[in-house]
Structure 1
Amino acid sequence: MDSDVRHLHASSFGAAADAYAAHRPDYARDAVRWALEPAPGPRVLDLGAGTGKLTATLVATGADVTAVEPDRAMLAELRRGLPTITALPGNAESIPLPDACVDAVLAGNAMHWFDMAVAGPEIARVLAPGGVLAGLWNTVDDRVDWVEGLTGVSGPAAIGPRDTPASWRTETATLHLPRTDAPPRFGSATQAEFPHGQRRTADSLAATLGTRAGMLVMPEDERESALARIRSYLSTRPETSEGEFTLPMVTCVLRTRRL
């Protein structure tokens, strides 16, 4: 993805901030606990926090959370939903916090948008020694038959790179870590996966997939056609054709530590 296309995708969410807040899933608590396990203290920065999906899960684990989000509409949704949280405008390449002020930096479905050549040193700056950097991604579990079918019907705009466990493992093995520098700021990374799920209906699952960046940047007629195809598929499956069901998911985590 070239820089112009990447920027178009990364900046697409604000126009759908209310739908994002309504339909995107939270994160498996076991995944968040594992991400924070080596952190030297409770101070956590949720970087690229969006509407606060990860922020809320962090709060539920007892973390002392600060959220940073570049998009005004997404930030407004976060502040509306979590009014007691410190939520600041800013981005991974210019974090509006002082040096060594947090024990962990977490990013939920956001690290792939960071320019890590710039963001890596900036994240290292705000982390205390021994602090944790972790990216979390919610993926759909395509080891389940009907979910595998859904990935084929939906296409890469709705379920693409990093959106299934196997593709996530490949895409994030080294791609989103801070680049090696001398002396190195971060240690080696570890991947882990945690089962998760989201209660959906056919309509709300289509709405969830409609909040993916690839879908948001589509021409309206193509987007509506893709959503209609997804709804049609879900209507034919016994698992999803009537009422609520659980979308099988995996919260995947890539974790490293500040040296």
Structure 2
Amino acid sequence: MTEPRPGPDPQPMPHQQGRRHDLPASPFARSFGSQADRYDRARPSYPAAALDLALARPAGAGKAGRILDIGAGTGKLTATLLGRGAEVVAVEPDPQMLAVLADRLPQVRALAGSAERIPLPDRSVDAIVAGQAFHWFTRPDADREFARVLRPGGVVGLIWNFPDRSREWVSKLYQLTKQPEVPWADNFDPLDPALFGPAEQATLPFEHRLAGPEGLRDLVHTWSWVITRSQADQAVIDDRLRILISQYAELQAPVVVLPQHTTVVRQALR
């Protein structure tokens, strides 16, 4: 389950013990399955360097054996994990998203589950990663589950792709969707410091290459605040998008390049 948060990069803030929200049950979180194929087609992957940072293990811990991709969606991040550990396990709560992942990546063990209820035994994974998903998890339930399934020396790597809104057309792209009030915060609340060490954060440049103007439209229609709008509202958004495309030659090319950057936050199990 994933989402391109349009706000600023997540900034570390003091841990809020007992902080909870109802995002996993929200219409936003439950919207992605209806666009699973389009999501898999249009959403960006992740740079290899971001995975290197996310999976970096403490000195002496050795290479990760089993890697868990939590909130794996259709497997955009999962696919980049292949070969980085002896086994990759993907866990996703949405059955439509999970079906696309299982069909696309038959070599991956794909399980129905969530960050709050991981269907794996205690101390059974060496690393956990979440791409574009952590802000959907209920806290501190997810923190405790991560600590439960991680082996000693285990790490958690949280990854987000962010658009470069300093580019004029990118800023206008988000404005034209008239994003409503969404229920997640712009700040990153680190994992429970009683269970995990300090958060380490890095940001890398990255580009997302889309299949022309139609690819850009597909991307817009994978954003939860667009999916959950009425058909009439979505038609208005499409009209605005056509106007935007007509104003920029680079958006009319066979390949539309969306400038973005990738932020990685990593914490090791205590």
**TM-score under structure 1 length normalisation:** 0.87
- The equivalent position to 1:173 in structure 2, one of 174, 188, 192, is 188
Q: Is 1:18–2:37 an aligned residue pair?
A: yes
Cα 1:61–1:235 change in 2 (3 A) is: farther
Q: Offset at 1:155?
A: 3.0
Higher RCO by CA contacts (8 Å cutoff, separation 6 or greater):
2
Aligned to 1:189: 199
Task: Provide the C-alpha distance between the structure 2 equivalents of 1:157 and 1:82, rounded to a whole number of angstroms.
Answer: 34
Aligned to 1:9: 28
Contact 2:163 2:258 in 1 (8 A): yes
Cα 1:127–1:58 change in 2 (3 A) is: same
Unaligned runs of 5+ in 1: 163-169
Q: Offset at 1:57?
A: 0.9
Contact 1:210 1:227 in 2 (8 A): no
Structure with bigger helix share is 1
Aligned to 2:3: none
Cα 1:145–1:115 change in 2 (3 A) is: same
Q: Is 1:207–2:218 an aligned residue pair?
A: yes
3-state SS in 1 of match to 2:236: helix
Q: Is 1:76–2:94 an aligned residue pair?
A: no
Contact 1:161 1:171 in 2 (8 A): no
Q: Which AA in structure 1 matches 2:122?
A: D
Q: Structure 1, residues 175-215: CA drift from partner, whole Å, max 9, x if none? A: xx3345xxx00111122111111212122112111101111
Q: Which AA in structure 1 matches 2:196?
A: F
3-state SS in 2 of match to 1:8: coil
RMSD (Å), alpha carbons: 2.4
Unaligned runs of 5+ in 2: 1-19
Q: Offset at 1:146?
A: 2.6
Q: Structure 1, residues 91-117: CA drift from partner, whole Å, max 9, x if none? A: 111101111111111011111110021
- The equivalent position to 1:127 in structure 2, one of 150, 166, 169, is 150
Task: Provide the C-alpha distance between the structure 1 equivalents of 2:51 and 2:23, rounded to a whole number of angstroms.
Answer: 32
4+ long deviations beyond 6 Å: none
Q: Offset at 1:225?
A: 1.1
**TM-score under structure 2 length normalisation:** 0.83
- Pairs aligned (count): 246
Q: Which AA in structure 2 matches 1:8?
A: P
- The equivalent position to 1:242 in structure 2, one of 253, 260, 265, is 253
